């Protein structure tokens, strides 16, 4: 396939989950990747596996560690990638964090700030670091939001606030960058079959009636939230939306909020 042939894509949070999926899916379509994830053993090991998968597809990849809260580190990561691969064509601000601390008035200040700093400021830092490297021909900026960026999320107001905020950021960027042929859109996944959902803590929150709930138990609850008969979407489903927005197939699409949630946000009963 060749929908992204020789385009260079910057992806944060690329060492695991959806970020890795985006890297692989875009590489399948011919893209080269600048993959960024957190410093430390876990991030480095994750990036090594993402690198292996991308290289197995015959594409080039440059990996770098940086916390998205650290603009200087992101600048360095982008500079390293550009030195190897040339200008950037697509930015995917994917890195994020989701916690469920409880009602808004009970949330600890540290938990609140961590969500805003990573999910919102991190997206801004990513775009800020990458825009200067975008191709003179224009490009695409994709910020990963959430269904919690469309509707409220009880028990996670810090997450919902940050994911609503990136929509405002993206809409503003779309206005600011449009004359440079740079498109800016957001993608809004519902529940996705990654470690962010598939973990014992989430299972327990969804099924407090059980002593040791499993993924299958949690799926019963999540399936009731969707229009289509699935409990969650897979990472590749989100990556396919990212691919469309990254490719020339969406050359006149900007300021869009693309939802990938099996109908969760449209369900009325």
The total of structural domains in the chain comes to 2
Q: Is the pTM of this model over 0.85?
A: yes
Q: What is the residue range of 225's domain?
A: 198-231
Q: Quick one: CA dihedral 97, 94, 132, 162, positive or negative?
A: negative
Which residue has better confidence, 20 or 269? Answer: 20
| Same domain (yes/no): 118, 247 | yes
Q: How, if at all, do strands 90-93 and 61-65 pair? A: unpaired
| Same domain (yes/no): 16, 142 | yes
Instruction: Answer yes or no: is 71 within a domain.
Output: yes
| Same domain (yes/no): 43, 147 | yes
Q: Count of alpha carbons within 13 Å of 95, Cβ hemisphere only?
A: 32
Reported as a pLDDT band with limits 50, 70 and 90, residue 268 is: confident
The CATH number that applies at residue 170 is 3.40.50.720
| Same domain (yes/no): 66, 142 | yes
Among 9, 126, 147, 159, which one carries the catalytic annotation?
A: 159
Instruction: Answer yes or no: is 122 within a domain.
Output: yes
| Same domain (yes/no): 218, 142 | no
pLDDT for 1 equals: 66
Instruction: Answer yes or no: is 144 within a domain.
Output: yes
Is 159 an active-site residue? yes
| Same domain (yes/no): 77, 144 | yes
Instruction: Answer yes or no: is 1 within a domain.
Output: no
Residues 114-124 pLDDT 10s: 999 999 999 99
Residues 68-117 pLDDT 10s: 999 999 999 999 999 999 999 999 999 999 999 999 999 999 999 999 99
| Same domain (yes/no): 220, 244 | no
| Same domain (yes/no): 109, 209 | no
Residues 147-193 pLDDT 10s: 999 999 999 999 999 999 999 999 999 999 999 999 999 999 999 99
Q: pLDDT averaged over the chain?
A: 96
Instruction: Answer yes or no: is 266 within a domain.
Output: no
User: Quick one: which H or E segment has residue 92?
Assistant: strand 90-93
| Same domain (yes/no): 183, 223 | no
The tokens for 79 are 């500079």
């Amino acid at each position: 396939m060749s929908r992204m042939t020789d385009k260079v894509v910057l992806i944060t949070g690329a060492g695991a989950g959806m970020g890795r999926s985006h890297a692989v899916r875009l590489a399948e379509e011919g893209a080269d990747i600048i993959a960024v994830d957190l410093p430390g053993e876990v991030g480095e090991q994750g990036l090594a596996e993402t690198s292996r998968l991308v290289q197995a597809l015959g594409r080039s990849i440059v990996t770098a560690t940086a916390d998205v809260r650290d603009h200087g580190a992101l600048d360095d990561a982008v500079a390293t990638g550009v030195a190897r691969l040339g200008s950037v064509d697509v930015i995917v601000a994917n890195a994020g964090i989701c916690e469920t601390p409880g009602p808004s008035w009970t949330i600890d200040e540290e938990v609140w700030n961590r969500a805003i700093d990573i999910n919102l400021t991190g997206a801004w830092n990513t775009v800020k670091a990458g825009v200067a490297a975008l191709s003179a021909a224009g490009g695409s900026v994709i910020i990963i939001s959430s269904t919690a960026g469309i509707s409220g999320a009880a028990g996670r107001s810090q997450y919902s606030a940050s994911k609503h905020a990136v929509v405002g950021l993206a809409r503003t960027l779309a206005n600011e960058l449009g004359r440079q042929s740079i498109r800016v859109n957001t993608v809004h996944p519902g529940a996705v079959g990654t470690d962010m959902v598939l973990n014992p803590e989430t299972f327990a929150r969804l099924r407090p009636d059980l002593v040791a709930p499993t993924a299958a138990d949690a799926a019963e609850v999540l399936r009731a939230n969707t229009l289509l008969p699935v409990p969650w979407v897979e990472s590749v489903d989100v990556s396919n939306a990212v691919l469309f927005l990254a490719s020339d197939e969406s050359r006149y699409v900007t300021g869009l909020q693309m939802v990938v949630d099996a109908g969760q946000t449209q369900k009325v009963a």
